[in-house]
Structures are given as C-alpha cells and as structure tokens.
Structure 1
C-alpha cells in the first residue's frame, strides 16, 4: 500500500501512451482542401482569390476570360 501512488502513476502513463498510439488524437486532413481533379477552373480561381494569392483586378480579368471560354 505504500507504493500505490507509483503504480497508479505508471498505469496512467501506460494508458496515455496507448491512447496516443491508437491515433485518437491524430490530425485529420482538412476537408476544405481542393482536389484539382474535381474542382472547376472557376472554383480554383475563387479559392486563390480567397487565399489572397491574386488581387481584385486579376480575379475579375481571369473570371471574364473563363466566362468567354465556357
């Protein structure tokens, strides 16, 4: 009984290691990431604009080009 707290601590560490190893806390892939094979060119353009990769002028220019082509 004198060393009961040590046994309890060891069991907690083992439990923590088992849960961590099982993958419960693994980061899942972001579901908002676009798969280039399923997104349309306009969706890709909108996402690039939303991320700040292109400015307003570039967005409008490319949007008009896409609308002409399709």
Structure 2
C-alpha cells in the first residue's frame, strides 16, 4: 500500500491547482469590472434625478424645446 504521504501530496497538489484557477478567474473578473466601472459611459447615476435626465436628453438633441417644457411640467418641476 503506497497511499501514505504520496497520496496526500497528490491530493494537495490537485486542490492547490483548483484553488489557483479559481483565484485567477476571480482576479480577472475583478480587474475587468474595475476597468469598466472607471469608464462609466452609458450608466445612469443612482443620484441622477428625472429632471437631470430630461436636461441631458435636451442637451443631446434627443427632444426639442416644446417636448422638454411639456415633460418638465409633467414632472412638476
């Protein structure tokens, strides 16, 4: 029976290999999330009010002055 220290070492190596790959994948995911969060384009800030969104749409030319004024009245601002 040769299942002494050699068996424990092989099992430990396998466990370390799996742990290494899990940590590598988690690290890559965290780096990608950090890099994309720094960009921030296309995301609406949770603190951005409906009026701020409306002003942004008007500034981008997505809506005209009359539509801006109507929606502003609808918001009660």
Give TM-score, length-normalised by structure 1: 0.45
Structure with higher Rg: it is: 2
| Higher normalized helix content (fraction of residues) | 2
TM-score normalised per structure 2: 0.42
